[in-house]
Amino acid sequence: MTTSAPRVFSGIQPSGGLTLGNYLGALKRFVAAQDGGSETVYCIVDLHAITVWQDPAKLRHATRELAAGFIASGIDPARSILFNQSQVSAHAELAWIFNCVARMGWLRRMTQFKDKAGKNAEDASVGLFAYPNLMSADILVYHATHVPVGEDQKQHLELTRDIAIKFNNDFGVDFFPIVEPVIEGAATRVMSLRDGTKKMSKSDPSDQSRINLTDDADTIAQKIRKARTDPEPLPDTLDGLKDRPEARNLVNIYAALADITPDAVIAEHAGQGFGHFKPALADLAVAKLSPISAEMTRLMQDVSEIDRLLGAGADRSGDCRTDSRTHARHRRHDPVAPLARCGGRCSWPWTSRRSRPGHLWAHTISAPAEPRCGRKEAASGGCGNHLRKDPACGHRHQETERCSKKDRHQGIEAQHKHNDDEHPHQCRRHDREKHN
């Protein structure tokens, strides 16, 4: 297996409204990865969002708000690649290739489709069923090696690995890397402030169940003070929180915000009731989150700048895919350089770094093109300057004799029949009916 350069990829769907769960489970980790020495690619996956009905205006707003959340949380567009998915057609094109690689049984086992479609699975969109293939394309089009994900997305990473392995085995190549999920830390999964057994979600009807990244300092503190807990004090060891989901959730949130372990939190606050612990957590949350809220508000006042940054990120993302194209061409011994016109079996120009991955993988999985005639056609048309059966000419003439100027002017055209499909070089100076 060829070793790929470390590259981190992750994406978030612009479903509207970033929460503390998004920050602790994703954005905060993305910032840490940005400082970890690996190349980082972060994507706002707006194509995933349209697997269910979206109001276009609201989707645009949610996309920009999410971009503001990335930047306000510490993602630097100059150091990381940040863009929205729909600006780069490579994602959708590779997803179609993966639709032909992945198996129906694999997708039927995806629990998220069952959860989202529920009893109305027959009315769900095909996109909702097949979107794990698009997720795999998002990752593998950049040859990402590591993907930070929550526990609920781990199954999709396993599918991505299966697709990469099957593609490599099917076509005898060592092309796609086997992606490793990055799941670590205290608050990988942040739970609801009202029910410690449910994930914190923007879709929960109660706004008190979550902390939004757009909440001001007073709102953040008020939500933490009203968070559901139990009457027992914090135990001496973490094992004492085993059957106390709400208490364990607040301890995990504190640990993640403070960059310490849950055990360290317990050691510091053991024996304290929540009347003491909640104010300490509220102060910490306000200190960490209120600057993010203020910066998001500032950024959303100039959406043209957000659009500019996303467009620049989409352009930069082509640098990663250019490496992939070069790798694929070398695997098939294709001499054509990237960003040049294809000289194989089509005339697609590689003028845009954002385009043509479907063409790329067609070259990867298909046989090399037969040699083509490199000589310019005569001004009168056809290969008239070629000797009969010239081995240097790759045109697929099925006649044993070539059509030449001499033949045409001596009036012996009737000796060979022309077929438009089989012999593309017709005699242009004579009425075609005379040949038939």
In this structure, which amino acid lies at residue 321?
A: R
Question: Which pLDDT score, from 0 to 100, does residue 188 have?
Answer: 63
Q: Edge to edge, what strands does the sheet with 7-12 contain?
A: 81-84, 39-44, 7-12, 146-148, 180-182
Question: Which pLDDT score, from 0 to 100, does residue 126 have?
Answer: 87
For each successive 10 residues of the chain (436 residues), what is the average pLDDT?
74 90 88 86 94 92 96 95 95 93 88 73 82 92 84 80 94 90 68 93 91 95 95 93 94 93 94 94 96 95 95 89 48 37 36 40 40 40 41 43 43 42 43 44
User: Strand 7-12 and strand 81-84: pairing?
Assistant: unpaired
- Catalytic site residue from 28, 199, 223, 278: 199
- Catalytic site residue from 58, 114, 116, 198: 116
Question: Which pLDDT score, from 0 to 100, does residue 422 have?
Answer: 43
Rounded Cα distance between 299 and 293, Å, is 10
Rounded Cα distance between 147 and 30, Å, is 10
* Counts for the chain of helices (H) and strands (E), in that order: 16, 5
- Nearest to residue 6, comparing CAs of 29, 30, 32, 40? 40
Domain boundaries, the chain: 7-190+301-327, 207-298, 371-436
- Catalytic site residue from 119, 166, 198, 202: 202
Does the annotation mark 278 as catalytic?
no
- Nearest to residue 196, comparing CAs of 157, 248, 231? 248
Asked whether the beta carbons of 359 and 346 are under 8 A apart, the reply is: yes
- Nearest to residue 21, comparing CAs of 184, 185, 285, 200? 200
Question: Which pLDDT score, from 0 to 100, does residue 2 have?
Answer: 52
Rounded Cα distance between 88 and 311, Å, is 10
Does the annotation mark 166 as catalytic?
no
Question: Which pLDDT score, from 0 to 100, does residue 192 have?
Answer: 95
Question: Which pLDDT score, from 0 to 100, does residue 137 have?
Answer: 94
User: Strand 7-12 and strand 180-182: pairing?
Assistant: unpaired
Does the annotation mark 199 as catalytic?
yes
Which CATH code fits 7-190+301-327? Answer: 3.40.50.620
Whole-model pTM above 0.95? no
The answer to whether domain 207-298 has CATH 1.10.240.10 is: yes
